[in-house]
Amino acid sequence: MLRLENKVCFISGGASGLGEAMVHRFSEEGGQVYFGDIDAVRGEAVAKECGAIFLPLDVSDEEQWVAAIQRIEQDKGRLDVLVNNAGILGTGPLETIDIASWNRLFAINVTGVMLGCKHGGMLMQRNPGGATGSIINISSNAGILATASDCGYSATKGAVRLMTKSIAINFARRGMSIRCNSLHPGPTDTPIFKPWRTSEKVSTQLDDTLREMIPLGRLGQPREIANMALYLASDESSFSTGSEFVVDGGGTSALAGM
Ligand SMILES: NC(=O)c1ccc[n+]([C@@H]2O[C@H](COP(=O)([O-])OP(=O)(O)OC[C@H]3O[C@@H](n4cnc5c(N)ncnc54)[C@H](O)[C@@H]3O)[C@@H](O)[C@H]2O)c1
């Protein structure tokens, strides 16, 4: 028996990095996988690779969420797993923040997650046979410990962490079996760092800095994060809700430099 057999899944930001790894991993385990992204070219290519279905989606736009969830309801009549994964890096240190970039960051990293929970959660409530499902919100280890260099990113990822708990207890107290957990990756080798890799030298320095933060001494691989998402998506995690799942090579366990 495959771990996601017969489960209808939706992953936001599935055209790259962690989301792309989840699209593949969930498909391998029998999930009927839909995914959304603003990058339609890459999205269609990923869909072709594994037979998942790509839907164009900007997570900050409520109408686009309504259209994506309607399409899944028309096709399958249910939603079992939702991963709110789409996200971007932040606006840099406090002194340099401009308000337009700050608002865009919150629109994607926070409002985008809320809209996914709202519209995906409403379809889960209508699932034939009762309100069931698993929502996985991708936060970060930066949603647990702060970085001085990126005030906005930490703020958005901290917001995702507590939003997740609020949504989890709301569903549970209304007697629904819709679980909601946050996943907190540490630095993982994905294109998210591309804007920072301005030269080979800078890129090597960045990797060295990231590695120093991680007791296991290396960056994570997307599949290692996708494996935790898979556990949370499957019925193996049936007693977990409102909880934080850290996958960061020990980064949040260590006192800096000790
Ligand atoms: N890579 C890491 O080290 C790391 C660590 C902790 C948390 N995360 C989080 O994991 C998630 C995925 O990051 P990644 O490393 O795979 O990044 P990535 O840049 O490789 O992929 C992000 C995807 O999201 C899409 N996206 C961006 N804005 C969007 C929008 N408005 N609507 C829909 N899709 C949009 C992009 O097109 C891209 O395909 C993010 O939430 C990120 O904050 C990443």
Mutate to test the pocket of ligand 1, among 105, 153, 192, 245 (most ligand atoms within 8 A of CB): 192
CB 177 within 8 A of CB 131: yes
Residue 182 has pLDDT above 70, yes or no: yes
Strand partners, 12: 36
Q: Is the CB of 158 under 6 A from ligand 1?
A: no
CB 106 within 8 A of CB 158: no
CB 183 within 8 A of CB 229: yes
List the Cα angle 130/133/136 in 5-degree steps.
Answer: 160
Q: What is the pLDDT of residue 192?
A: 96
| 3-state SS, residue 203 | helix
Per CATH, the homologous superfamily of domain 8-248 is NAD(P)-binding Rossmann-like Domain (3.40.50.720)
* pLDDT tens figures, 108-164: 999 999 999 999 999 999 999 999 999 999 999 999 999 888 999 999 999 999 999
Locate the domains of the chain by residue range: 8-248
CA–CA separation, 167 and 176 (whole Å): 11
pLDDT band at 235 (very low <50, low <70, confident <90, very high): very high
List the Cα angle 29/243/207 in 5-degree steps.
Answer: 75
Dihedral angle computed from the Cα positions of residues 111, 251, 21 and 88, in that order, rounded to the nearest 10 degrees? 30
Residues 205-228: what's their mean pLDDT?
95
Catalytic residue (one of 153, 167, 186, 222): 153
Q: Are strands 244-247 and 177-185 parallel, antiparallel or unpaired?
A: parallel
* pLDDT tens figures, 7-39: 999 999 999 999 999 999 999 999 999 999 999
Which residue in 245, 140, 146 sits closest to 185, CA to CA?
Answer: 140
* pLDDT tens figures, 75-120: 999 999 999 999 999 988 999 999 999 999 999 999 999 999 999 9
Q: What is the pLDDT of residue 258?
A: 65
pLDDT band at 56 (very low <50, low <70, confident <90, very high): very high
Q: Phi/psi zone of residue 100: left (φ > 0), alpha (ψ -120 to 50 degrees), beta?
A: alpha
CA–CA separation, 54 and 35 (whole Å): 5
Q: What is the pLDDT of residue 148?
A: 87
Q: What is the pLDDT of residue 92?
A: 87
Residues 222-248: what's their mean pLDDT?
98
Q: Is the CB of 37 under 6 A from ligand 1?
A: yes
| 3-state SS, residue 136 | strand
Mutate to test the pocket of ligand 1, among 11, 18, 210, 228 (most ligand atoms within 8 A of CB): 18
Q: What is the pLDDT of residue 256?
A: 74
pLDDT band at 196 (very low <50, low <70, confident <90, very high): confident
User: Which atom of ligand 1 is least distant from the CA of 20?
Assistant: 16
Q: What is the pLDDT of residue 257?
A: 64
